[in-house]
Amino acid sequence: MKWLAFVLLVPWPAWADGLVATRLIRATEVLQPGDVAPQRAATAPGVASDPAQVVGLEARVAIYPGRPVRLADLGPAAVIERNEAVVMIYRQGGLTIVSEGRALGRAALGESVTVMNGTSRQSVQGRVISFGQVEVGPGALR
């Protein structure tokens, strides 16, 4: 009876279809449908199982061929690149101020990014609201 309890309490790997990379996917590359393939194996937590989950997302780290594609290693694709000219928008009540700036990092929609004001050379934090547009000011980082 002891061996039955042992067999029931020992965790066994779960066999399911998980996605693996079909080629070397470098960091910052956006995944395409042919970049991943299902493979039946013992899956770890957080491994993607459906190509629809990962296609269009950007790799945050290098993913090597045959390795599982983990959802934690992916994120939304960046719409602002480092050193890119951006439009900074400051809104307070009915006042709107628009200025030119330069992004000091990469960011996706809704993410925070540091931007240097082109005129004053001051760096401010803002939130990406569109391609090439960053909202700055007190309400931007909520």
- SS3 of 19-69: the string is EEECCCECCCCECCHHHEEEEEEECCCCECCCHHHHCCCEECCCECCCCEC
Q: What's the predicted TM-score (pTM) here?
A: 0.69
| Cβ-based burial of 80 (10 A; exposed 0-12, middle 13-18, buried ≥19) | buried
Taking every pair of C-alpha atoms in the chain, what is the biggest distance, in angstroms?
A: 78
What pLDDT, on the 0 to 100 scale, is given for residue 3? 55
> Which tokens hold the place of 112?
């925070």
* pLDDT digit string (tens) for the chain, length 142 residues: 555 555 456 565 555 678 999 999 999 999 999 999 998 865 678 898 889 999 999 999 999 999 999 999 999 999 999 999 999 999 988 899 999 999 999 999 999 999 999 889 999 999 999 999 999 988 777 6
Which of the listed CATH numbers 2.40.160.40, 2.30.30.760, 2.60.40.1080, 2.60.120.260 matches domain 78-136? Answer: 2.30.30.760
17: tokens are 């279809």
CATH class of 13-75: alpha beta
